[in-house]
Amino acid sequence: MTKKKKEIRRESIMEEAARLFKQKGFGGTSMRDLAERVGMDAATMYHYISSKDEILKTICFDIASIYITQLAEIEKANTPFIDKLKALVRLHIHLMATKGAEVSVANNDWKYLATESLAEFKDLRSQYEKGLSKVIEQGIQAGELEEVNQSVALFTLLSAVRWVELWWRPNRGISLEELEDTILTILFNGLGKKEA
């Protein structure tokens, strides 16, 4: 089997695992459940992945890596802070909508990571939250954002988009782009009507 083919199989195992973890919890999912779901016998499946712990680690760090990479790119872009913040909120909505199961696992099941990975993951999370908080602080200082409590702003933004994973589907009458635009309008312009 080519390397490419192996990689594709591995990814589809990861995707099914994320769905199962989300549905039954990390603790409630067995490797037998997973093998059944991907239609392989367990022995074949172990050709692609080594353990449940490895799967969890891969899912959590893949998501963390997307956030951290995007943050780094956005930080160095030459754009107003408010646009950086909007781009980050858009990224959150986008990931919730397109990788909902993985994001859910990274949000809820990271606590089951093995000790070493756990510390590393917490560091990444804290690094990301600090980066996001910094963008908010800079936006306020530059007069681009309202002068509100930074922590309240940070958590309100992060929390406001979390329903997307549970609700948005491509066929619910609103495109992903419209969804992103609408949430950004509410959070940055406010739901109250502005004078024209």
Which residue of 138, 163, 169, 171 would you call a contact of a copy of itself, by CB under 8 A? Answer: 163
φ, ψ (nearest 5 deg) of residue 158: -65, -40
187 near a copy of itself (CB under 8 A)? yes
Can you give the three-state secondary structure of 18-50, one letter per residue?
HHHHHHHCCCCCCHHHHHHHHCCCHHHHCCCCC
CB of 44 to a copy of itself, least distance (A): 34
Binding mask 81-120 for a copy of itself (x = CB under 8 A): -x--x-----------------------------------
Stretch that binds a copy of itself, among 35-43, 44-52, 117-125, 187-195 (CB under 8 A): 187-195
CB of 79 to a copy of itself, least distance (A): 14
Answer positive or negative: Cα dihedral of 186, 180, 21, 127.
Answer: negative
Maximal C-alpha separation, the chain:
65
Q: Which residues have CB under 8 Å from 37's CB, separation 6+? A: 16, 19, 20
**Alpha-carbon distance 127 to 125, whole Å?**
5
CB of 93 to a copy of itself, least distance (A): 10
Residues that bind a copy of itself (CB under 8 A): 82, 85, 143-146, 148-149, 151-153, 155-163, 167, 174, 178-179, 182-183, 185-194
